[in-house]
Amino acid sequence: MPAFMEPFRIKSVEPIPFPSTEERRTALADAGHNLFRVPSRAITIDLLTDSGTNAMSAAQWSALLSGDESYAGATSFEHFRAVVRELTGFDEVIPVHQGRAAERILLGELLGAGDVSISNTHFDTTRAAIESAGATAVDLPVDQTSPSAFGGDIDLGLLEERLRGTRANGVRCVVLTITNNAGGGQPVSLANVTAVRQLCDRHRIMLLLDASRFAENAYLITEREPSEAGRSPREVAHALFSLADGCWASLKKDGLANIGGLIALRDTELARRCRQQLIAFEGFPTYGGLAGRDLDALAQGLLEVTDPAYLRYRASTARWFGEQLSEAGLSVLQPTGCHAVYVDAAQVLPHISPEQLPATALANELYLAGAVRVSDLGTLAFGRADPDGGVDIAAPRELVRFALPRRVYTKSHLEYVVDVAANVAAKAAQIPGYRIVEQAPVLRHFTAVLMPLG
């Protein structure tokens, strides 16, 4: 089977809009030149995020009908728990409505004022949960300036140093985000997780996985870590979970569904405390803020997502798409992972300085050229306004992310995106920068109003 051929056929279709040049110009202007504010009915190909945008399988749609909507003790929960127990080896399984609910409950229970969590990179919602508990989130990623097979790893030397002597005081957990979204969607190696486990044992610190993309990480290990070449993604996933004390996940990613999340733990006492929080803020422990049918669809999704043919197709699609975008004239971060392709807008638009938002400029131009929506991970998202009203504090990189919803777009849809990208790259020198007209004090990229310069 060709690696990038879709290992499924299509049973249910949804028409996509093709707004005209004029309609695109109007939609972007009406949205304050901010793609988050553009309605989806004005988008042809939507690569804004891979979160909750998955297409479910026939088996998942049929599982919805067997959903048991009983308030307590639903069989849907029993299905979900059995699948999560088999996958992770963790006995305590707690459903939640999405990843950030898991983070607030679990990290809120584990961490207090003055405590520290160390990670390869905390996802932004993870960091928010830690900081709102009064604790500190410390990121120790490996150097990401040059391409490497496991760019998602935590820096073991820096971790060891951070745990030396009294510096270990207050460190409550190490969190490995698999894959490391912030670092370009790069995987964490099994060797890295094993070494972190040893350090955590030595210092009696909990090791937790943010397992939102566990299947993609496991697959990339089978491709890139020679000792794991013969194993299945599911076997590698088992190995990853077996090294941790617990995990949480946003199941809007590798749950292959549109909503859901989980906490899974070995520690019965910690799970008991989490369930009390769950009851207070999310729902009874056998549904956790979801419908019974969601739990059935998720149970099925968690079985499907480790299919080697699906994961090979997904990684090959990202690789192919990255090569094509690069031929089209964009600077693509290498190696590609699974859930997205990242482009360095600073390289494509060298005439636009960071305070004139090159990542925003590139993303907006892709929309104007072909109603393609991507996300801007540059200074608009990760920079900050200067409190004294001067120029913005720039983000470390001006990245644009082309996220790949799971099982949604075919290769010809992505070929269309490549054509649009080539048109944009060809007139890169004429693309204007932007200035911010209105912004919120936090998470400004979701709502900011912008104006093109010149």
Ligand X SMILES: *Cc1c(COP(=O)(O)O)cnc(C)c1O
Interaction mask 126-165, ligand X, x per CB under 6 A: x---------------------------------------
- Using rule CB under 6 A, residue 252 touches ligand X: yes
Selected from 46, 68, 210, 294, the binder of ligand X by CB under 6 A is 210
Q: According to the binding rule CB under 6 A, does residue 189 interact with ligand X? A: no
42 or 93, CB closer to ligand X? 93
CB of 175: closest distance to ligand X in angstroms? 10
Considering only residues 355 to 384 of the shown chain, the ones binding ligand X according to CB under 6 A are none
Q: Does residue 293 interact with ligand X by CB under 6 A?
A: no
Nearest Cα neighbor of 156 from 209, 190, 196 is: 196
Stretch that binds ligand X, among 93-101, 183-191, 192-200, 371-379 (CB under 6 A): 93-101
Please, what is the Cα angle at 35 between 122 and 358, to 5 degrees?
75
Under rule CB under 6 A, residue 108 binds ligand X: no
Question: Minimal CB distance to ligand X: which residue?
Answer: 99
Closest alpha carbon to 56 in 11, 107, 104 = 11
Nearer to ligand X, 88 or 364 (CB): 88
**Given the rule CB under 6 A, which of 122-130, 328-336, 357-365, 409-417 is the region that contacts ligand X?**
122-130
Going by their DSSP bridges, the two strands 261-265 and 136-139 should be labelled as unpaired
- Which region among 111-119, 148-156, 249-257, 266-274 touches ligand X (by CB under 6 A)? 249-257
Q: Is 54 in the site for ligand X (CB under 6 A)?
A: no
Nearest-CA neighbor of 72 among 380, 284, 298?
284
Residue of 80, 123, 382, 409 interacting with ligand X (CB under 6 A): 123
Residue 186 binds ligand X (CB under 6 A): no
CA distances (Å), origin 393, targets 142, 225, 380, 381 = 24, 38, 10, 11
Q: Two tokens at 311?
A: 């994961």
Nearer to ligand X, 177 or 336 (CB): 177
Q: Which is nearer to ligand X, 99 or 354 (CB)?
A: 99
Q: Is 290 left (phi over 0), alpha (psi -120 to 50) or beta?
A: beta
End-to-end, the C-alpha distance of the chain in Å comes to: 51
If one asks whether residue 117 binds ligand X (CB under 6 A), the answer comes out as no
Smallest gap, in angstroms, from Cβ of residue 401 to ligand X? 12
Stretch that binds ligand X, among 23-31, 65-73, 98-106, 164-172 (CB under 6 A): 98-106
Q: Which is nearer to ligand X, 4 or 382 (CB)?
A: 382
Contacts of 201 (CB under 8 A, 6+ apart): none
Interface with ligand X in residues 8-47 (CB under 6 A) = none
Name residue, tokens 């590609």.
Answer: 336
Token output for 411? 């290769």
Q: Which stretch binds ligand X (CB under 6 A): 17-25, 97-105, 130-138, 428-436?
A: 97-105
Number of residues that bind ligand X (CB under 6 A): 15
Residue 409: CA atoms inside 13 Å, Cβ hemisphere, count? 26
Does 76 bind ligand X (CB under 6 A)? Our answer is: no
Smallest gap from residue 99 Cβ to ligand X (A): 2
Tokens representing residue 249 in the block: 């996940």
**CB-based contact 295:77 (threshold 8 Å):** yes
The answer to whether 57 contacts ligand X (rule: CB under 6 A) is: no
Tokens of 92: 């305590």
Q: Which is nearer to ligand X, 99 or 378 (CB)?
A: 99
Of residues 193 and 346, the one with the C-beta less far from ligand X: 193
Return the residue of 19, 67, 95, 99 that touches ligand X, per CB under 6 A. Answer: 99
Contacts of 160 (CB under 8 A, 6+ apart): 199
Tell whether residue 253 is a contact of ligand X (CB under 6 A). Answer: yes
Q: Does 181 bind ligand X (CB under 6 A)?
A: yes
Among residues 51, 88, 222, 364, the one that binds ligand X under rule CB under 6 A: 51
Which of 53, 98, 192, 375 lies at the binding interface for ligand X (CB under 6 A)? Answer: 98
Which residues are at the interface with ligand X (CB under 6 A)? 51, 98-100, 123, 125-126, 177, 181, 210, 212, 250, 252-253, 261
